[in-house]
Amino acid sequence: MLNKPKFKPCFHIEDVESVGVFLLSESEYFVLNGDLYEQLAPLIDGEHSVEDMVNLLQGQASTAEIYYALMLMEKKGYIVENDNPMASDMPSEVAAFWNFLNVDHTTATSRLQSTKVSVTSFGTVPTQPLIAILESLNIQMAEEGDIAVVLTDDYLQVGLDEFNQKALQSQRPWMLVKPVGKMIWIGPIFDPGKTGCWECLAQRLRANRPVEDFLRKHRQPNSISTAFPTSRSLLPSTLDTGLNLAATEIAKWIVQGDHPSLKGTLLTFDTISLQTKNHTLVKRPQCPACGNSDYLGNRDPLPVLLESRKKTFTADGGHRCVSPEKTLKQYEHHISPIIGAVRGISKVSKLKSDLTPTYIAGHNFASMFDSLYFLRKHLRGRSAGKGQTDAQAKASALGEAIERYSGVFQGDEIRRKGSYKSMADVAIHPNACMLFSDRQYQTRQDWNQSCPSFFQKVPEPFDPEREIEWTPIWSLTDKTFKYLPTAYCYYGYPKPSKPDCWADSNGTAAGNTKEEAILQGFMELVERDSVALWWYNRLKRPAVDLDSFNQPYFTALKEYYHSLNRELWVLDLTSDLGIPAFAALSRRIDQPVEDIIFAFGAHFDPKIGIMRSLTELNQMLPAVISIAPDGSTKYNYSDELAIDWWRMATLENQPYLIPDENTTPKLYSDYSQLSSDDLRDDVQTCVDIAAKQSMETLVLDQTRPDIGLNVVKVIVPGLRHFWKRWAPGRLYDVPVQMGQLPQSLNENQLNPFPIFF
């Protein structure tokens, strides 16, 4: 029980007779009803003791009633003690501030006087102005404080890495502040062992600064600085704002004892728009400075062991064990233009219909750029998200961006050195996966010079005697490790002067569980293999009767496309694998230029396969939706191959896009149901289907410990990418085996126009 209680300084008190006592603060109010509170209110002034109150109210209220009322007010945080001799040292308005943090003035004063703070600077920001502000808040300064504040003009400034190492060794918490520039940065507070460290922060910062990373790689060898201070704007008022904000946070940190708002969080304040935003610092278990040694590159690889995962969501995009809403909630903290694995997510605004939710997410490929050409081409790397619902489209974009981030080479991946010749018993030749033909290798120089798309280029022939790094990949078929070149497995792996293979996203997928991701990745391989068989052989394929699926979304989408003067149809592309695969296509019907767009999907569930193709088609629609006054298309797309296709292709000159008139359209009832209620069983079905065609299913686990979302790369040597990969194999054999062609085409007879995305 308090001795001499008083109302917290943050409250303004108003006593309204016969109504109650009102406690007003900036953000809320409380009402104390009853005669007893009206009688007690003028006595709760810090001068009267509880005993005084009992004596003064004798005959009006019992001792028990008074004690109970005071106990309730103390419990609810309305009153505090006022008998500490140090209380007079703190102005009431300062005490009111600490009251908002549920800290009494006695505790605040004690912590401010007992905690020492040191201030240092890296860069051009002076320390004295901040020291003066801190002293005005009664904060004690010292050369080596209990906590440290570091001022800088750039969070990658020289010296911060060494300061971070010393802080980790001494277990001393510290706070980083950039009070200069248009955007003021406050925090995070680094608490060794509890939050991520500066190196965790720096890894994400570098990933979000591709231009600076490029310049850092190409600057003069004798250049010392690794920072590019771009925070050059400054007004005396904005500097004061930054320093005062920082000083307030430091004081809160001291007084609260544990400051949750900036612990592992970076706050940005835009001095132009006055917007603030919090950015989460993720503690990276694989961080070389503060992480776990278990994540070093020399660790042993782990087999991919499948577990039972019952499906709980099968309505949109695929079969999953978690809804898209839950996925978003769990991983959206990775979104930040400053320190996020994903720079941001935005909705495509060109499509006005609720039927076509499409999101774009910015992903980080900073380490990939070693030439100005690629820097310009991919500076704003984007991942697209599709779905029938807004939540699914947004979760899809987030998942794909995290998938790309997880596939970038970071240097801590497990590798083994050797040549293909020396590892032939366990190594897989990269061209067993890439499938370039001998002729493509022979004519690569001419093709590469004329090809506008990097992903369509042909690498150098693989040298089986060259010693390189190899990555272990688990075989779900043989239950053992196989090896592929690391350059084939990860984006941005340091390339030799003449690269002989590189990574692509084919078969890479993210999922809430490993099994979910593997299923998605395998379906992508099947989808693209089915597309390649159809596209390059220019096969006539049956239409799909969308009405037979009894899906209102299919009907509504056809009507929406018709309102845009576009025709929409779906082809069945199912191959010898027996997994339903589809192509959704659309063309303009009001102009000679048809702007034919297409997209694909494959899944055990034909409804999901068609849904994936249609929602992916929606992603392509913004590229051709803008119409000039003369009726021509204003293309919102930078790929030259795509624009060439849209301007050139018509159903008349590309008749394989038209459904086969001699085949009955496929009905929903024509498709077998191959899926189960368990993702593990579905994955095993995939492995069995591939094995029946004498193909091996391999999985590379690319999941990053700092992310958590499962990412895998599924590889089935022999399955064909839908890019221009013309080696012997399924591309030539399957159409004949299925009776779609009387004999295999030769390379000169294949469709010369490649799939361009």
Asked if the model's pLDDT at residue 180 lies above 70, the reply is yes
pLDDT: which is higher, 296 or 610: 610
Percent of the chain at pLDDT > 70 equals: 94
Tell me the per-residue pLDDT of 511-565, one tens digit each, with 9 for 90 and over.
999 999 999 999 999 999 999 999 999 999 999 999 999 999 999 999 999 999 9
Q: Which of 612, 641, 670 is the last residue of a domain?
A: 670
Note whether 571 and 454 are same-domain residues.
no
Residue (of 3, 55, 71, 757) closest to 383 by Cα position: 757
Note whether 445 and 486 are same-domain residues.
yes
Note whether 125 and 221 are same-domain residues.
yes
| Cα–Cα distance list, 588 to 568, 591, 657, 658 (Å) | 9, 6, 14, 14
Residue (of 490, 330, 331) closest to 405 by Cα position: 490
pLDDT: which is higher, 374 or 116: 116
Q: Which residues pair with 13 in a beta bridge?
A: 23
| Cα–Cα distance list, 205 to 35, 97, 282, 341, 342 (Å) | 61, 34, 12, 10, 12
Instruction: With cut-offs at 50, 70 and 90, classify the pLDDT of residue 159.
Output: very high
Note whether 688 and 564 are same-domain residues.
no
Helices 514-537, 679-692: inter-axial angle, 10-degree rounding? 40
Cα angle 18, 22, 25 (rounded to 5 degrees) comes to 170
So what's the pLDDT on residue 585? 99
So what's the pLDDT on residue 225? 55
Per-residue pLDDT, averaged over 718-745, amounts to 98
Q: Which of 379, 406, 433 is the last residue of a domain?
A: 406
Percent of the chain at pLDDT > 90 equals: 77
So what's the pLDDT on residue 375? 46
So what's the pLDDT on residue 244? 97
Note whether 203 and 346 are same-domain residues.
no
Q: How far, in Å, CA of 748 to CA of 732, rounded?
A: 12
Cα angle 188, 164, 278 (rounded to 5 degrees) comes to 10
Structure tokens at 442: 């022979």
Backbone angles phi, psi at 711, to 5 degrees: -130, 130
Q: Does residue 744 lie within any of the structural domains?
A: yes
Q: How far, in Å, CA of 265 to CA of 271, rounded?
A: 19
Tell me the per-residue pLDDT of 55-113, one tens digit each, with 9 for 90 and over.
999 999 999 999 999 999 999 999 988 855 444 578 888 988 998 888 888 889 999 99
Q: Does residue 514 lie within any of the structural domains?
A: no
Is residue 588 a contact partner of residue 299, using CB atoms and an 8 Å limit? no
Tell me the per-residue pLDDT of 441-492, one tens digit each, with 9 for 90 and over.
999 999 999 887 788 899 999 999 999 999 999 999 999 999 999 999 999 8
So what's the pLDDT on residue 221? 55
Name the CA radius of gyration of the chain, rounded. Answer: 33
pLDDT: which is higher, 398 or 320: 398
Any idea which of 257-271, 324-338, 353-367, 550-564 has the lowest mean pLDDT? 353-367
Note whether 39 and 24 are same-domain residues.
yes
Note whether 171 and 273 are same-domain residues.
yes
So what's the pLDDT on residue 29? 94
Q: How far, in Å, CA of 112 to CA of 667, rounded?
A: 75
| Secondary structure (3-state) at 704 | coil
Q: How far, in Å, CA of 20 to CA of 6, rounded?
A: 17
Strands (E), 272-333: 276-280
Beta-carbon count within 10 A of 441 CB: 16
Note whether 482 and 398 are same-domain residues.
no
Tell me the per-residue pLDDT of 741-751, one tens digit each, with 9 for 90 and over.
999 999 999 99
Is residue 431 a contact partner of residue 464, using CB atoms and an 8 Å limit? no
Side-chain half-sphere CA neighbours of 236 within 13 A: 0
Asked if the model's pLDDT at residue 251 lies above 90, the reply is yes
Which CATH number does the domain housing residue 586 bear?
Answer: 3.30.160.660
DSSP state of 26: S
Note whether 269 and 364 are same-domain residues.
no
Q: Does residue 412 lie within any of the structural domains?
A: no
DSSP state of 468: E
DSSP state of 177: E
Instruction: With cut-offs at 50, 70 and 90, classify the pLDDT of residue 583.
Output: very high
Note whether 462 and 355 are same-domain residues.
no
Structure tokens at 514: 């490993």
Instruction: With cut-offs at 50, 70 and 90, classify the pLDDT of residue 643.
Output: very high
Asked if the model's pLDDT at residue 197 lies above 90, the reply is yes
Q: Does residue 608 lie within any of the structural domains?
A: yes
Helix (H) or strand (E) holding 358: none
Contacts 24+ apart (CB under 8 A), 551-560: 551/607, 551/611, 553/355, 553/388, 553/611, 553/614, 554/610, 554/614, 556/355, 557/355, 557/356, 557/614, 557/618, 560/353, 560/355, 560/356
Helix (H) or strand (E) holding 655: none
Per-residue pLDDT, averaged over 184-191, amounts to 97
Instruction: With cut-offs at 50, 70 and 90, classify the pLDDT of residue 380.
Output: very low
Note whether 666 and 554 are same-domain residues.
yes
Q: Which of 406, 436, 468 is the last residue of a domain?
A: 406
Contacts of 515 (CB under 8 A, 6+ apart): 306, 307, 309, 679, 680, 682, 683
- Residue 568 amino acid letter: L
Q: Does residue 108 lie within any of the structural domains?
A: no
Which CATH number does the domain housing residue 438 bear?
Answer: 3.30.40.250
So what's the pLDDT on residue 298? 76
Q: Does residue 99 lie within any of the structural domains?
A: no
Q: Residue with structure tokens 């990418």?
A: 721
| Secondary structure (3-state) at 456 | helix
**Taking the C-alpha atoms of 249, 251, 256 and 262 in order, what is their torsion angle to the nearest 10 degrees?**
20
Q: Does residue 220 lie within any of the structural domains?
A: yes
- Tell me the pairing of strands 12-16 and 468-475: unpaired
Backbone angles phi, psi at 346, to 5 degrees: -140, 150
DSSP for 582-639, please give it: EEEEEEESSSSS---EEEEEE-SSHHHHHHHHHHHHHHHGGGG-EE-TTS-EE-----
Contacts 24+ apart (CB under 8 A), 449-453: 452/639, 452/640, 452/641, 453/639, 453/640, 453/641, 453/754, 453/756
Which CATH number does the domain housing residue 11 bear?
Answer: 3.90.930.60
- Domain residues for the domain of 331 are 301-406
Is residue 421 a contact partner of residue 464, using CB atoms and an 8 Å limit? yes
Asked if the model's pLDDT at residue 374 lies above 70, the reply is no
Number of independent structural domains in the chain = 5
Question: Average pLDDT of the chain?
Answer: 92
So what's the pLDDT on residue 372? 44
Note whether 659 and 584 are same-domain residues.
yes
Tell me the per-residue pLDDT of 208-235, one tens digit each, with 9 for 90 and over.
887 777 777 766 555 555 677 788 888 9
Any idea which of 205-209, 220-224, 504-508 has the lowest mean pLDDT? 220-224
Q: Residue with structure tokens 């774009």?
A: 360
Instruction: With cut-offs at 50, 70 and 90, classify the pLDDT of residue 415.
Output: very high
Q: How far, in Å, CA of 647 to CA of 623, rounded?
A: 13
Is residue 484 a contact partner of residue 470, using CB atoms and an 8 Å limit? yes
Which CATH number does the domain housing residue 141 bear?
Answer: 3.40.50.720
Q: Does residue 69 lie within any of the structural domains?
A: yes
